[in-house]
């Protein structure tokens, strides 16, 4: 079964409308401060079948805190590429990397849940031309990433690929 495939080059009109709505300053502030908490609960309650965004494909990333060692859960928009789940550590265009990124760098073995499937994955930050190719795909998929790139100042937004360790 696995995490459902998501093709980044052909987003639906509904998806594009949702991404546009999420690009407003008010939505971005809400999502950064509260949205992920609400979404985390919705995803857990529905076993990954429903997320708050309704139109953006999301996985629930369960990761280990780099400093605390505690389990954390973060909903992330994703697409798939070459059998991997791809996420962007945009932090809504913030000048710092999101906490989940630091945690995954410290503890790359994670759990991803989406659409009723849960599996163990290994995270790897992409680099060089592979990172650039995937970030270009991400910007096609979610045009907001181009804005986030500008807003991030000098921060290079990481692209993280998750590969399932034991596909089910």
Other Cβ atoms less than 10 A from the Cβ of 31: the count is 17
Residue 168 DSSP code = -
pLDDT in tens, 102-141: 999 999 999 999 888 899 999 999 999 999 999 999 998 8
Distance CA 136, CA 110 (A): 25
Question: With a cut of 50, which residues of the chain have pLDDT below it?
Answer: none
Alpha helices (runs of H) in 2-155, residue ranges in sequence order:
13-22, 25-30, 36-45, 99-106, 128-141, 144-151
State pTM to two decimals. 0.82
CA-CA-CA-CA torsion sign (47, 48, 53, 59): positive
């Amino acid at each position: 079964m696995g995490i459902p495939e998501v093709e980044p080059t052909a987003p639906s009109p509904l998806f594009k409308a949702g991404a546009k709505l999420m690009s407003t300053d008010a939505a971005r502030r809400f999502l950064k401060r509260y949205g992920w908490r609400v979404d985390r609960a919705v995803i857990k309650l529905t076993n990954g079948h429903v997320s708050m965004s309704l139109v953006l494909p999301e996985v629930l990333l369960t990761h280990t805190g780099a400093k605390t060692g505690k389990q954390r859960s973060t909903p992330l928009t994703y697409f798939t590429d070459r059998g991997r789940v791809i996420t962007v550590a945009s932090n809504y265009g913030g000048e710092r990397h999101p906490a989940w990124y630091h945690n995954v760098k410290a503890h790359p073995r994670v759990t991803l849940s989406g659409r009723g499937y849960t599996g163990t994955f290994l995270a790897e930050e992409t680099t060089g031309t592979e990172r650039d190719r995937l970030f270009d795909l991400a910007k096609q998929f979610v045009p907001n990433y181009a804005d986030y790139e500008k807003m991030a100042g000098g921060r290079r937004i990481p692209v993280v690929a998750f590969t399932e360790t034991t596909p089910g």
